[in-house]
Amino acid sequence: MLLKKLFSKKEHVENIDFPEMDIALQLMFEIAMSDGYLDKKELQLLKNRVREIAPQEIAVSTVLKKMIDQSLESISLYPTIKKINDTYDKEKKKDLLRTLWKLVIVDSKIDPYEESLYFKIADLIYIKRSKANQIKHENS
């Protein structure tokens, strides 16, 4: 399995502390896993995001491992959604949706679970469905 190979090295991840593990990365992972399968193209997009946000001295696999651990411990998207609503303006929320939609379509198929979670996140961050649809069609 892809994830097993990715984390074959033991690395300490407790000390990672940068943009709070990046909200977009957390939500990208949630969407990627919503269909129960992490595609190679989805994993690559996640790795690219990590490279954009993580300090160079931190391995991509280390960041992804911590993100997975946090996701397994989390029982709700509420803290992440609250943080978005408290700190993001409307444009930043739209940019977030663009990033999330890129993940949905990266494997060249639109999975209903991934699409549903995309729209649920849009609703929770107070972006109208019509705007979320517009973002979807702009980036398809």
- pLDDT string in tens for the chain (140-residue length): 444 444 444 333 344 444 455 889 989 999 999 988 889 999 999 999 999 888 888 889 888 888 888 777 877 889 899 999 999 999 999 999 999 999 999 999 899 999 999 999 999 999 999 999 999 999 88
- The upper half-sphere exposure of residue 21, i.e. CA atoms within 13 Å in the direction of its Cβ, equals 21
Q: How far apart are CA 95 and CA 77, in angstroms?
A: 19
Q: How far apart are CA 6 and CA 62, in angstroms?
A: 9
Q: What pLDDT sits at residue 12? A: 39
Q: How far apart are CA 134 and CA 140, in angstroms?
A: 10
> Could you give the residue ranges of the DSSP H alpha helices within 7-128?
23-33, 40-53, 60-73, 78-87, 90-105, 112-124
Q: What pLDDT sits at residue 21? A: 58
Q: What pLDDT sits at residue 10? A: 37
Q: How far apart are CA 32 and CA 38, in angstroms?
A: 6
How far is CA 73 from each of CA 70, 104, 130, rounded to the nearest angstrom?
5, 23, 33
CB count in 10 Å sphere of residue 88? 16
What is the per-residue burial (b if ≥16 Cβ within 10 Å, else e) of 105-137?
bbbeeebeebbebbeebbeebebeeeebeebbe
Q: What pLDDT sits at residue 64? A: 86
